[in-house]
Amino acid sequence: MTSRLGPMLKAIRERSGIAQLELSLRMNVSQRHVSFVESGRSRPSRDLIEAWLCETEAPPSLRNAVLLAAGYAPASPDVSPGDPRLGQAIAALDRTLDLHEPFPGLVFDADWQAHLTNCSARRLMRLNLPDFVADIDDLALGFSMIDALIHPGGLFCYMRDPWIGGGALLDQLRREQWVRPALEPRADRVEASMIQRFGPRPAQAAAPSADPYLNLVFDTPRGVMRFFTIQSVFALPQDVTLASLRMELWFPADEPTRAAMKRLAGDDAGPSAGPIDAGR
C-alpha cells in the first residue's frame, strides 16, 4: 500500500491544479521534499499528509484512503452542524427509514442517542413503552437508547431472554467504551440494571458476540413479536469511524409479527386511531 502513496499524493495535487512549488510554499517545506514524497523516495509524516490533503481540498473518503495507504488510522469525519454534507446524509438516512415502513428503523450516534426514528419505530414504542414515552416531549426529536432500555417501563420489561438480547447490547457497549470512555458509566448502568432485575448473567449467555445482528423477542399488548435487527453505517468504507451515524433496521422475523406491524400502521392511518397514538 505504501508504494502507492507517492503516486496517490501526486495525482491529488495535479487534480487540484497546484504546482509542486506552490504546494511546498503552502506547507512550508522544500519543493525537493514534495518531489521526493511523490516519487516514493521520502516517507511523509501524518502531519504532512494531512496538510497536503487539506491544501488540495481532498474529500473525506480520499483523505482516509491516503491515510490508510500510508499505514495511519483514518481520521474522524470533520463535519460541522452546518456542513451541507451532513444535511445530505441526514436526508438520505431519513429517506431510508421512510422506505423501511411499516417496520421500525432509527438512526443513532456514538453516544447511543437516537436522532431519527420512522413512524413504525414510534408506534412500537408507544405500544410497548408508554411510561417511557410519557417522559419525553417528542419522540421525533430524539431520545437516549440506553434510557429506553433501563427505564422501569423500558424494553427490558418486555424482552424475552433479556440476558441474550440485552447481553449482546451490553457487550457492544463494553467494546465501544475502550475507544469512547464516556460510554463506560452508561454501560455500567445497563449492567447494574440487568443484574438487579434478572440476577447474575447466566453462563450460557456470558460469551461476548460481535455479530452485527440481533434476534429480539418481545411480549407485547399485541402478542409475541419477533424481530431480526441489524446495524449499518451510512458512509463510504474509508470514512467509517466509531463517531459515524449508525442506522438500525428492524425486520419482522415471522409472519405474525409482519402482520402485526402492518395492522399497527393501518390503525395509525385509520379515522379513529387506537391507544398507541395517545399523546400525539
Amino acid 275: pLDDT: 34
Give 109-148 as a DSSP string. Answer: -TT-EEEEE-HHHHHHHHHH-HHHHHT-S-GGG-EEHHHH
Amino acid 84: pLDDT: 58
pLDDT tens-place string over residues 172-218: 899 888 878 888 999 999 999 999 999 999 876 555 556 678 899 99
Q: Which stretches in the chain have pLDDT values below 70?
A: 1-3, 61, 73-86, 204-211, 235-243, 268-280
| Domain 84-277, CATH among 3.40.50.920, 3.30.450.20, 3.40.309.10, 3.40.30.10 | 3.30.450.20
Amino acid 276: pLDDT: 32
pLDDT tens-place string over residues 66-76: 887 888 766 65
How far is residue 95 from each of residues 98, 101, 160, 236, measured CA to CA in Å? 5, 10, 31, 18
User: For residue 272, what are the contacts with CB-CB under 8 A and spacing of at least 6?
Assistant: none
Q: Is the backbone of residue 110 left (phi > 0), alpha (psi -120 to 50) or beta?
A: alpha
The whole-angstrom separation of Cα 34 and Cα 25 is 10
Residue type, 164: I
Superfamily of 2-69 according to CATH: lambda repressor-like DNA-binding domains (1.10.260.40)
pTM across the whole model: 0.68
Q: Which residue ranges make up each domain of the chain?
A: 2-69, 84-277
How far is residue 90 from each of residues 77, 85, 101, 168, measured CA to CA in Å? 15, 9, 17, 27
Residue 14 phi, psi dihedral angles, 5° rounding? -65, -40
Average pLDDT score, the chain: 83
Among 262, 157, 266, 165, CA closest to 219:
157
